[in-house]
């Protein structure tokens, strides 16, 4: 009984995998693999696109850089953002490399883009600040 079950499992596995079994026992007939049909191959080229050429990209939005030198650093950032400038970076103007964690304890001493300059609103602006003691 165990041999018959093993042969049956072998035949089912071989049939499911699409490969004939390597040997069969007397009295059993191998089952041929099921016929499969492949999807038809497309021989025609796709139709040419009839869409018009893409429109030119719209002009970049521009913003006027405000003067934030002398402001508390948090106020300086808020002022830049109100002008549409959000790509802001900051540094410790003393050169000590400290992080400006509490922006209200720092005073902006320099900006790398001059006030009044018209720039793309995605321009990176560096604000330098000194810690207020």
For 82-131, the pLDDT digits (tens) are: 999 999 999 999 999 999 989 899 999 999 999 999 999 999 999 999 99
Higher model confidence: residue 21 or residue 99?
A: 99
pLDDT cut 70: percent of the chain above it: 62
Alpha carbon separation from 52 to 35, 46, 58 (Å, rounded) = 47, 18, 17
How far is 73 from 100, CA to CA, in rounded Å? 9
Average pLDDT, the chain: 81
pLDDT at 10: 72
pLDDT at 3: 73
Q: Given a cut of 70, is residue 67 above it in pLDDT? A: yes
Higher model confidence: residue 45 or residue 119?
A: 119
Q: What is the pTM of this model?
A: 0.57
Alpha carbon separation from 115 to 48, 79, 123 (Å, rounded) = 52, 12, 14
Q: What is the mean pLDDT of residues 5-15?
A: 67
CA atoms within 13 Å, Cβ hemisphere of 58: 3
Q: Given a cut of 70, is residue 43 above it in pLDDT? A: no
């Amino acid at each position: 009984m165990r041999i018959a079950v093993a042969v049956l499992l072998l035949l089912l596995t071989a049939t499911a995998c699409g490969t004939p079994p390597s040997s069969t026992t007397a009295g059993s007939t191998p089952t041929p693999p099921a016929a499969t049909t492949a999807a038809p191959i497309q021989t025609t080229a796709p139709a040419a696109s009839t869409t018009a050429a893409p429109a030119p990209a719209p002009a970049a939005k521009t913003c006027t850089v405000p003067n934030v030198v002398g402001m508390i650093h948090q106020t300086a950032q808020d002022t830049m953002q109100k002008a549409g400038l959000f790509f802001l970076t900051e540094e410790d103007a003393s050169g000590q490399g400290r992080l400006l964690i509490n922006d209200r304890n720092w005073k902006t001493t320099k900006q790398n883009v001059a006030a009044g300059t018209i720039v793309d609103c995605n321009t990176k602006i560096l604000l330098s600040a000194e810690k207020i003691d």
